[in-house]
Structure 1
Amino acid sequence: MSKLGRKLFWRMAAMLAVVFIVSALINTYFLPKYLLYEKKTALAELADIVAYSGPTELKRREQELERQYGATIVSAELQTNLDELNDRLLRLLNADGVSLSRFWLAEEGLDQLLQNKPVYRLYSQTKLNTSFLVTFLRADDRIVVIGSPVAHSSQSLHAVNSFNAWIAAGGMLCALGLAWLIARGIVRPLEKLSRSAESIARLDFQKTDVRTGDEIELLADSINGMSDKLKEAHGALEERNIRLQGFISDISHEFKTPIALIKAYASGIRDGLDDGTYLDVIDRKADEMSGLVDRLLLLAKLQHEPYRIMAFSFRELLDEALEPYRAAAEQVGIRFNVEAQPTSHPTVMGDRDKIAVVLDNFISNTLKYSAGPDVRIGLIDEGEHLHFTIRNALGSWNNQDPDLLWQPYYVLESSRNRALSGTGLGLSIVKTILEKHGAPHGVQVEDGEIRFDFSLPYDRG
């Protein structure tokens, strides 16, 4: 038997033992007293009825009262000769079917009757294994005897307790079988859940089919849900690690190339080969490494520093963000087309400097990846919010999930050519800023175009 089965058995056995012991104690020490109390109460009630009934009415109702209360009622003339009185009462009881070996009204009892006080006596009939409970009453010049037999319960109670002991022993056997069945029904699904948990610990995300219709099934559903979420999180973590490894490789290359050039040009200067441009090359490469480090630090900084939310003109900020890129856009044949809906709210709420970083990243991405001459920028009035969109033609798309673009270390192309691809940090910076603002944002790829968008609330002050 399993540990749970043994635990259930011993608990059931202890419960049965306690019930049996308490029952035996009650039967032995309290039941006889209770039975005698019940008899005394019934006789007291009958005595009250007899005391308030006249001789004629008592004679008429005598048999009815005897049947109702299970008692014997006899009466005789009250006399002071105790021997004759006791003998007369004993013959009357014998005539009524009550044979007593011990029955005697003493002098003290007779005195109480003469004073109109009731007398109560219990006569033990040892051979008959009973007692006879009697109430003596005086009714005018007569003595009324009301009696009821009280069985000695010791032998009966012993038989009852013995029978209960056998019942308890049988109950123990039933408890053993019941505990085994209950434990079996509980342990089996728990063993399945245990194996499932061990599999999850080994990163083998399995599901357990448990149908018990109780809390164990709810637990199994919870573990299955946890397994699904852990599997999803583990897959996302592995994918993130792969991208991180690629990012580290790219960053290593980005640093390695300028470092190698700086070292080579420094050696050329030392060997006297400088034609006047070596220091410029070293300075430019150092600036590239510094810019890369700055973006890495910016991503970490944006996740923790406080944002200053204030009202500003979004259209004015957009024009400022576009201005530095117009010359570069003309050189590659790209036009920025801004379509702005009229709005009665010229300002929006946000951190102006951080939103400037967002616009700068979106605009610079269009110059890197646009496959067409037009970059369309839209400003849409949505009542409570200003909705910004920027879209451009896309040269190729391998049906990846567009939301991957928001994740760190993810670049649209695998090429390390800085003219074509970034480090995968720009859109991560954008996402961090927009999430800090609580601004809805998204990316969609459809009909050969890629579109980024976000919304900011209007200033209602």
Structure 2
Amino acid sequence: MSDPEAPAGPVGPGPDGEAPDDGSVAEEPAAPTTRRLSVRSRLRRRLLATGRSWRGSLAFRVVTITLLGGLLSLGVTGAVITAEIRDRLFNDRLSAILQQAADRVDEANSTLTASIASTPSEAQNEGGDIVGIIARSQGVLGSALVRDEAATGPSILQPSAGNADTTLITEEMHDAVRQGAPLNWQSVVVTVDGEQHPGVVVGAHVDMPVAGDYELYIFYSLQSEQQMLSVVTSVLGLAGLALVVMVLGLTILVLRWVLRPVRQASRTAERLAAGLLDERMDVRGSDEVARLGESFNEMADSLQQQIKDMSDLSHLQQRFVSDVSHELRTPMTTIRMAADLLYDQRESFTPPLRRSAELLLTQIERFDHMLADLLEISRFDAGAAVLEAGPTDLAELSRNVIDAHQLLADSKGATVTLHRVSPSCTAEVDARRIERVIRNFVVNAIEHSEGRGVDVSVAADDRSAAVLVRDHGVGMTPTNAQRVFDRFWRGDSARTRTTGGTGLGLSIAAEDVRLHGGTIDADGRPGEGAAFLMTVPIEEGEPVGPSPLELWPDHDDQATAQVIGAGRAGDADPASAGSPDEAEEAER
């Protein structure tokens, strides 16, 4: 009996394996499905990592292929050699067994022929002596005499000696021995000291005195041959693994030797791409790898020289443009003053002279704008562009641009609509530069609108402010959209332009936006129009965030856009215009 006052120990399962009911809620073990999924997930991650290593490393692929090829070759070669050694051992041992068994059978037949046994008991003793002598022979596991089913003499006990398991003898073996063949054998599995080993049983027909026809069986074990084969297989396996490891090591060494210049070439190419044009490969020797390094260095020298020549030419061109632009400013000022004077007096001229004065002033203004663009590009190239930022209402700035180019819009039959998407569109920007960006966008849109509408949208959030200008004219391809900000690039040089230009306007706009730390984008669809989007940070020096406007928006969905200018900017009241209906009225 247990002590009732003894402290209670930890509660364990009852004798039937169930937990006692102590009022606690047992936690259910984790489901096997969860463990299987975890193992599957880890396996998948490892396979993905292996796949990445396979695709990203030449050394890994070569080492893996060498290892797998070596193991496959080792397995095939080892299997062939092991099979050959096994067959040789078995055949040699079988020949020796058959020779020894033939001698034992001959001795048994001689003994039985000379026997004087006349009673079953004497024949029994004679048979026991024969199997005992054979069982004690070297290499013999055991022997037994089995009565032939066709025997007609008196039956005696079937003597056996040693480890002779007659149940291993198949019926086919019995039939072959009864037919009188000299020696018959079959492979069997014998048990020695509780362990199973390959063996051979040999059978022959003998004539027992008094008892008649009997079958003599001799059992042999191939344990020593099996042990020898195991030793040979182990030695071959270890030698093969050592060979594979040696080949793998040599492969790694060769790979390191071969891939070292390749990796060096890769690193050198990366440094060259980063602008370190003096980087070169170390060349040693005169083999193929050395010639590769020499060719690489010659290529780098050629590229460096070409880049230097192009840089010198670019600097020369920039210097030429800057000098010529500055030199032309002084005579251009004088010419402009004379043209203004002639223009002011045009009413006193004859019609042909009056028209000439107007054309002269127009072309001089165009030339003056071209000089201004060239000077601005020169400042960007020289790194002399300065940002003079201050709080600026981008919507009001856009309104001023639209007002300034209303005559151009009227001549093209285009209606320019200004959308204020956000209540406040103020940002710290250089008003002069941002106005130039918007002007380039608007003039470009009017020029290519083909008399259709032009939408100017302005929006801002807590990080960024944006201006989007979209026309619905000829549009442009994605390829052209990628090049539209390149210097001197024109989408279609054959188009008739009324505003002149050098192809530098959008390039200068891109430089102005980048000077603010913003982004500039363009997109278009042939026959559907083009869109230009400028995004700048709200505060100077802060990183720009995502644009509050989409580059290719659907204006039909912008029901909250506030129209503060349509057609002639200022025709609509910003305080009262806020619905799409009012926007349509302003456009009309």
TM-score between both structures, scaled by the size of structure 1: 0.42
Structure of greater relative contact order (alpha carbons < 8 Å, 6+ residues apart) = 1
